[in-house]
Amino acid sequence: MEPTAAEAVRALRAYASGHLTLDGEHRWPVRFVWDRRAGRLVFPLPDDASLEGEGQLLLPDEHDPAVAVLLTIEEVASLPGALEIRFEIYHGRAESAKWGVATVVALRYHGEAYDGEDLVLTDGLVADEPALCRELNADPARLRALCETGARASVDEPVAVGVDPDGIDIRARFGIVRAPFAASAPTPDAAREQIARLSEARRA
């Protein structure tokens, strides 16, 4: 059975870094965050690069990508403050002064292609995300256990930096790890229920 568009989005949300290609030749690793209100990706650009136009993002890397995303990229000199802060929370301060803002044109997942217009890349948890992260970070032992259960990773000093309907983004010293939910959580109460299920799985 072919994946649904929602499953393709779930796969896309699982990553915070990948390889960006331009013109099928120029490639480099890129770290990114989501502008979840607009459903777009944002990432810093090398100072000597100009990426306006079409590009392809390969996730998790160029060698064996699980997800391939066709993008249209706009170069901007600055971002809204909240987005720049979001990037810093996820990845640290960006060294470049230029940013790429990318719109998803199409996505390929498990051999199936999806038009960007059919993908729901915005969500209703944006306003509640800070509170959900504070709740997770208030109990570091529980968050470490969630990393082991959901992300299959041992993280000494985890920090929850993002919660969306499909899971939790957790910052570790070596990068971002993902703890996926068992089911979609479109509301804050549903997200808390999924977080509780992850905790219960650890105890079991």
Please check whether residues 79 and 133 belong to one and the same domain: no
Q: How many domains does the chain have?
A: 2
What is the structure's pLDDT at 52?
67
Last residue of a domain, one of 66, 88, 118: 118
Nearest 10 degrees: Cα torsion 8, 13, 19, 22: 70
Give me the domain span that covers residue 173: 129-203
Longest dimension (CA), the chain: 52
Instruction: With cut-offs at 50, 70 and 90, classify the pLDDT of residue 105.
Output: very high
Using CA atoms, how far apart are residues 3 and 39, in angstroms rounded to an integer?
A: 20
pTM of this structure: 0.92
Please check whether residues 110 and 135 belong to one and the same domain: no
145-156 residue pLDDT tens: 888 887 787 888
Could you tell me if residue 124 is inside a domain? no
Last residue of a domain, one of 118, 150, 184: 118
Closest CA to 31 of 15, 52, 51, 54: 15
DSSP conformation class of 48: T
Last residue of a domain, one of 76, 94, 118: 118
34-79 residue pLDDT tens: 999 999 999 998 776 666 678 999 998 777 789 999 999 998 888 8
Scored b (16 or more CB within 10 A) or e, 116-143 reads: beebebebebeeebeebbebbeeeeebb
Tokens of 19: 């390889």
Which runs of consecutive H residues, i.e. helices, occur in 28-177?
A: 81-91, 129-137, 140-146
Asked if pLDDT for residue 202 goes beyond 60, the answer is: no
Using CA atoms, how far apart are residues 112 and 2, in angstroms rounded to an integer?
A: 7
